[in-house]
Amino acid sequence: MIGLAHTGKTFRGRDGAEVEALRDVSLSVADGEFVAIVGASGCGKSTLLRLVAGLVPASTGTVTLQGQAVTAPREDTAMVFQAPTLLPWADVLRNVTFPLRLMGKAGSDTEDRARALLATAGLKGFETKLPSELSGGMQQRVAICRALLQNPRVLLMDEPFGALDALTREEMSLELLRLWGERRMAVIFVTHSIPEAVLLADRVVVMSPRPGRIADIVEVGLPRPRSFDQEGSDEFQRCARRIRDRIFGERRAAAA
């Protein structure tokens, strides 16, 4: 579904100096696979997502979706950011349907599908509420519903739960797993939380410090459906320990 081959990205700062964010990244993500990306701040995790989304071009190498080069945003790809980025003057239902209406893709069943998604996400009865009337977790659920309404083949998530409190973050993690289990699109999920990555993903990609490279890929052998009860299992601890050791090992190597 998603392919990066020897992909790199270099930005030019305002002072004219070049900053290499990513170097020689090769990764494939299968249809329906859930892949998490972790690493130190500034290692290029968000840049990688933006390359896959077609928001920025690669400097070197290639990015492909279903074998086609990604040169611009695609209708079969949706992105969820850390902030919900909801329209403050629009109610929940209009926020969820906004992208399809903007693209001229809204049909006679769009509102019905949006209502069904909101009900699935536990937001039935909140369709006419404004974002300011919702909690942070509820706003992020609206943002996820907005992305899913597009029926994406690829869902890109850039620390979508980073601004939430611990309890809401756990609740949203389980909610995301449930929604993904029903639809099984390919997901790339960026997070700073190692336990969150292990809980959610089939594989966890560990990035090195800038310029970001793939330092390790950890296969998560936990059975699905997942729950927080698995955090005490040997497999969960093995994966978390390997990821943690690799991240801190890369940090020490970069500082040496």
- Give SS3 for 91: coil
pLDDT at 226 over 60: yes
pLDDT value of residue 60: 97
CB 26 within 8 A of CB 231: no
Q: How many helices (H) and strands (E) does the chain have?
A: 7, 10
pLDDT value of residue 75: 86
CA-based nearest residue to 149, from 178, 181, 188, 107: 107
Write the CA distances from 27 to 52, 84, 136, 229, 256, integer angstroms. 11, 28, 33, 30, 27
47-81 pLDDT tens trace: 999 999 999 999 999 999 999 999 999 989 999 98
pLDDT value of residue 197: 97
State pTM to two decimals.
0.90
Distance, CA of 58 to CA of 48 (rounded, Å): 9
Distance, CA of 63 to CA of 2 (rounded, Å): 8
Q: Tell me the domains of the chain and their CATH numbers.
A: 2-76+153-255 (3.40.50.300), 86-151 (no CATH)
141-174 pLDDT tens trace: 899 999 989 889 999 999 988 877 888 888 889 9
